[in-house]
């Protein structure tokens, strides 16, 4: 217990476990963690978030996304997907049929998008061979191998894997911390998903522009402190911002993420959508309710 830190200090985003799905972060009833001691918080956190199902390997767990009829294997420790890719899947347009998922992790964006559009095919890419293999298993287990392919590759190398201008939609949740910034996670595999390694934000935008068709969409979810940088880079690449939406843990707090849609080769007026409160909005509650924890 000595290595564990205070969970959920702002009661909206778990800074302890770095997991948006931490049930303590979304409590709105009288049992909110603000009324609990630190020891009680940790005990409750363990009870809610660390239950283990013997549904897969001893170093893995299974989550269920009931609203999409998906079962998703994840590493017990290391990188585990949060609410962010689910929010992005709801934000992205669903009419596109050729989709590229950059940094797929366990494959959650690819799986959800395939469920949302039965005509869609998805190419999913991840730099980690381990995560790419888990994504392949998830694709097979959910009987989507005919519409989703998974490639283990750095985004800087995928030009050799796919043809330029071949996707209607490119999606991604790029690492949002520069090298040397922010806390280092004690869990192996999480830092590669959070901290830029070989590929920077500009690299993600550049390869997304190369892969998407003229008039196609690029949808990212990213950290607000780098919004100006993203917009400046997008303009340099002749990507037109089309939609922007801020994501809050609670409306009393600053935005913790934003979602943006960029259009290649087509000017459009920027539409700023109403913000999302993960804690209070029906949107966030619907996503949370659709997930059964399998830890």
Give the whole-angstrom CA distance, residue 46 versus residue 56. 20
Residue 257 burial (10 A CB sphere; 0-12, 13-18, 19+) = buried
Q: Could you give the CA distance from residue 254 to residue 259 in angstroms, rounded to a whole number?
A: 15
156-174 residue pLDDT tens: 999 889 999 999 999 999 9
Identify whether the C-beta of residue 200 lies closer than 8 Å to the C-beta of residue 190. Answer: no
E-only strand ranges, 148-237: 148-152, 167-172, 212-222
Angstrom CA distances, 148 to 78, 154, 217, stand at 24, 18, 19
- Over residues 53-80, the pLDDT tens digits come to 434 556 888 888 888 999 999 998 777 8
Q: How many Å apart are CA 125 and CA 118, to the nearest integer? A: 20
pLDDT number for residue 60: 87
Q: Above 60 in pLDDT, residue 279?
A: yes
Determine contact, residues 261/240, Cβ cutoff 8 Å.
no
pLDDT over threshold 60, residue 192: no
pLDDT beyond 90 at 289: no
Query: Is the CB of residue 254 less than 8 Å from the CB of residue 246?
Result: no
Contact predicate 23/49, CB 8 Å: yes
pLDDT one-digit tens code per residue, 1-51: 444 344 444 443 444 444 444 444 444 444 444 445 555 555 555 554 444
> Reduced to 3 states, what is the DSSP secondary structure of residue 142?
coil
Q: Which of 2-11, 223-232, 248-257 has the lowest mean pLDDT?
A: 2-11
CB 147 within 8 A of CB 97: no
pLDDT in tens, 83-119: 889 999 999 999 999 999 999 999 999 999 999 999 9
As a whole number, the mean pLDDT across the chain is 78
Stretch 259-281: mean pLDDT, rounded?
A: 88
Distance CA 271, CA 96 (A): 20
Q: Where are the domains of the chain?
A: 1-50, 60-292
- Helix (H/G/I), strand (E/B), else coil: 92: coil
pLDDT at site 159:
87
User: Higher pLDDT residue, 243 or 4?
Assistant: 243
Task: Give me 130's structure tokens.
Answer: 């381990």
Count CB atoms within 10 A of the CB of residue 282: 10
Q: Average the pLDDT over 249-269 and give the result.
A: 91
Q: What is the pLDDT of residue 41?
A: 52
Mean pLDDT lowest for which of 14-18, 138-142, 220-224, 259-263?
14-18
pLDDT at 193 exceeding the cut of 50: no
Q: Which fold has domain 60-292?
A: Rossmann fold (3.40.50)
Q: Give the Cα separation of 288 and 290 in Å (integer).
A: 5
Task: State percent of the chain over pLDDT 90.
Answer: 53
Alpha helix segments (H runs only) across the chain: 38-49, 84-91, 108-116, 129-141, 190-194, 201-211, 227-236, 282-289
């Amino acid at each position: 217990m000595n290595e564990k830190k205070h969970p959920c200090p702002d009661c909206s985003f778990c800074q302890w476990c770095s997991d948006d799905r931490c049930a303590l972060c979304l409590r709105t009833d009288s049992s909110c963690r603000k009324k609990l001691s630190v020891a009680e918080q940790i005990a409750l956190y363990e009870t809610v978030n660390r239950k283990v199902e013997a549904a897969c390997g001893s170093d893995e767990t299974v989550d269920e996304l009931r609203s999409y009829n998906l079962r998703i294997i994840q590493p017990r420790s290391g990188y585990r997907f949060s609410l962010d890719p689910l929010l992005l899947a709801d934000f992205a347009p669903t009419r596109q049929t050729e989709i590229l998922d950059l940094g797929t992790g366990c494959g959650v964006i690819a799986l959800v998008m395939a469920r949302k559009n039965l005509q869609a095919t998805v190419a999913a890419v991840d730099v980690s061979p381990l995560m790419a293999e888990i994504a392949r298993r998830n694709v097979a287990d959910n009987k989507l191998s005919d519409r989703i392919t998974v490639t283990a590759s750095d985004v800087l190398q995928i030009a050799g894997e796919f043809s330029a201008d071949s996707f209607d939609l490119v999606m991604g949740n790029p690492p949002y911390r520069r090298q040397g910034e922010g806390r280092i996670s004690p869990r192996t595999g999480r830092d590669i998903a959070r901290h830029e390694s070989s590929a920077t934000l500009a690299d993600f935008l550049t390869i997304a522009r190369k892969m998407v068709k003229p008039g196609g969409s690029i949808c990212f979810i990213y950290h607000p402190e780098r919004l100006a940088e993203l917009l400046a880079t997008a303009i340099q690449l002749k990507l037109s911002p089309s939609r922007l939406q801020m994501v809050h843990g609670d409306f009393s707090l600053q935005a913790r993420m934003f979602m943006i849609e960029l259009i290649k080769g087509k000017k459009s007026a920027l539409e700023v959508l109403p913000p999302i409160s993960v804690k209070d909005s029906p949107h966030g509650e619907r996503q949370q309710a659709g997930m059964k924890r399998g830890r």
